């Protein structure tokens, strides 16, 4: 073995050791934030309706007023969610009958005092083109505003958050309780710059292990129901389940933009222990049946979005193929029978890559892994998890932006990976021909 190779392997081993140590180290000081801020999240905002989730600890009753220019459109009624004996609360509401594709404002009032104002739009779900941000792994304790500024500059029409939006278990030596869940979600909502943007971007999220029950957590987590309720309360998409979004098992959901169907999948609530020989060990029987019922006879492009990688068989992290092989092989057989055009999205691994799909998948596609916005990252991670199907990869903190364009019977997906300062790291373009 050459000296250079020894040094390289030693560096990779050190990087993995540091990752393990960082995950287990106890928290020494809490994350600080301005408690007077108001955290605003815009969920699905399409076809004349917009869903909001607003976190704050204001003692006075708040009013939410919707304006177009200086014309008041609505004085919103809302419901409030709170945790026992906590000063923070969540105000949730769905605004309907809005003008489409026009700039609107939401003004947040306490008595006659304006506390905040944000701009948003309810856009058409029938556009020929969309710009979609994809991000994961947003550890509040390692918050980096420059990453969010770079994403903000992309002017996306929609953000997909694909897991680890909150690190409930970071620097924690006990099992995450419902109280810890609530506190960590409040922390993320108050700290992350995204929730304080002046122009709001519609966002749909799913979880992975760290915002569910802890590192590599599965269906044995004892507070899974409480965790699901907490996630749905903090994110702004559960009211839309009765209108624009269709709810699935767990926190899964689906929605459609043009001829694109987005399946946001719950890869934790029903997951068995790694290497389970059970047939439905990844998504559970009910959710897997829901997936294939959803894509049956669909003639567009299907996005399969899940926190865990799909096809990787290398490296240190979890993947559907590597850890649930029996279920994975059956899942692929069903995909081939469905004969749909598809794209796969994942997060989790703290590096990003674009891979082609293996040739055992009937219809050629790509897997986009977008990780991390700001969390532990080391230069050796893409090398440790090297893949023969990889086209591009980076270990730098990053996010992806996918521009989809529908022309006739073709949907083009142009993907760019960015880091801070709007610096592009790599790009890819793929055309999907529809039947």
Q: pLDDT digit string (tens) for 304-340?
A: 999 999 999 987 889 999 999 999 999 999 999 999 9
**d(C-alpha 215, C-alpha 14), whole Å:** 20
> Which stretches of 214-257 are assigned E, i.e. beta strand?
246-247, 253-257
Local confidence band at 29 (pLDDT 50, 70, 90 cut-offs): low
Strand ranges of the sheet holding 203-206, from the earlier edge strand across to the other edge: 203-206, 158-162, 129-135, 399-407, 410-418, 424-433
**d(C-alpha 141, C-alpha 378), whole Å:** 17
pLDDT value of residue 22: 40
Structural domain boundaries in the chain: 39-120, 129-433
pLDDT reading at 21 higher than 70: no
Local confidence band at 23 (pLDDT 50, 70, 90 cut-offs): very low
CA separation (Å) from 255 to 64, 240, 265? Answer: 27, 10, 12
Q: pLDDT digit string (tens) for 203-262?
A: 999 999 999 999 999 999 999 999 999 999 999 999 999 899 999 999 999 999 999 999
Q: pLDDT digit string (tens) for 365-422?
A: 999 999 999 999 998 899 888 889 999 999 999 999 999 999 999 999 999 999 999 9
pLDDT value of residue 380: 86
- Fold for 129-433, please state it: Purple Acid Phosphatase; chain A, domain 2 (3.60.21)
**Contacts of 325 by beta carbon, 8 Å cutoff, 6+ apart:** 275
Q: pLDDT digit string (tens) for 255-292?
A: 999 999 999 999 999 999 999 999 999 999 999 999 99
CATH class of residue range 39-120: mainly beta
Residues facing residue 302 across a β-bridge: 261, 342
pLDDT value of residue 225: 97
Q: pLDDT digit string (tens) for 93-151?
A: 999 999 999 999 999 999 999 999 999 999 999 999 999 999 999 999 999 999 999 99
**What average pLDDT does the chain have?**
92
Burial class (CB in 10 A: 0-12, 13-18, 19+), 264: buried
């Amino acid at each position: 073995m050459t000296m250079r190779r020894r040094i390289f392997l030693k560096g990779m081993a050190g990087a993995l050791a540091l990752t393990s140590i960082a995950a287990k180290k106890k928290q020494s000081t809490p994350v600080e934030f301005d408690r007077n801020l108001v955290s605003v999240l815009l969920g699905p905002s399409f076809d004349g309706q917009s869903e909001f989730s607003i976190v704050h600890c204001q003692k006075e009753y708040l009013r939410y007023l919707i304006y177009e220019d200086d014309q008041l459109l609505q004085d919103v009624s809302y419901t409030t969610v709170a945790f026992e004996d906590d000063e923070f609360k969540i105000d949730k509401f769905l605004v309907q009958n809005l003008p489409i594709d026009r700039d609107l404002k939401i003004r947040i009032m306490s008595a006659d005092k304006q506390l905040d104002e944000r701009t948003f739009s309810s856009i058409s779900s029938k556009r020929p083109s969309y710009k979609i941000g994809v991000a994961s792994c947003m550890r509040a304790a390692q918050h980096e505003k420059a990453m969010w500024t770079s994403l903000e500059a992309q002017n996306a029409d929609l953000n997909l958050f694909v897991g680890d939006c909150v690190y409930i278990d970071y620097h924690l030596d006990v099992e995450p309780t419902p109280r810890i869940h609530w506190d960590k979600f409040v922390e993320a909502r108050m700290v992350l710059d995204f929730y304080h943007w002046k122009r709001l971007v519609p966002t749909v999220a799913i979880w992975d292990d760290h915002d569910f029950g802890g590192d590599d957590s599965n269906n044995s987590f004892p507070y899974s129901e409480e965790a699901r309720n907490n996630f749905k309360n903090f994110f702004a998409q559960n009211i839309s389940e009765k209108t624009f979004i269709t709810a699935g098992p767990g926190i899964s959901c689906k929605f459609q933009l043009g001829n694109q169907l987005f399946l946001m999948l719950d890869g934790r609530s029903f997951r068995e222990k790694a290497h389970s020989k059970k047939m439905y060990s990844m998504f559970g029987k009910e959710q897997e049946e829901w997936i294939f019922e959803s894509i049956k006879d669909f003639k567009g492009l299907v996005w399969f979005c899940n926190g865990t990688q799909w096809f990787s068989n290398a490296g240190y992290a979890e993947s559907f193929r590597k850890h649930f092989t029996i279920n994975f092989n059956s899942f692929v057989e069903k995909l081939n029978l469905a004969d749909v055009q598809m794209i796969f999205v994942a997060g989790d691994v703290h590096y990003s890559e674009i891979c082609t799909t293996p040739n055992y998948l009937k219809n050629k596609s790509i897997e986009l892994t977008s990780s991390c916005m700001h969390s532990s990252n080391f230069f050796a991670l893409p090398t440790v998890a090297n893949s023969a199907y990889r086209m591009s990869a980076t270990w730098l903190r990053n996010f992806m932006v996918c521009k989809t364009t529908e022309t006739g019977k073709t949907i083009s997906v142009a993907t760019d990976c960015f880091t801070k300062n709007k610096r592009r790291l790599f790009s890819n373009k793929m055309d999907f021909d529809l039947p």
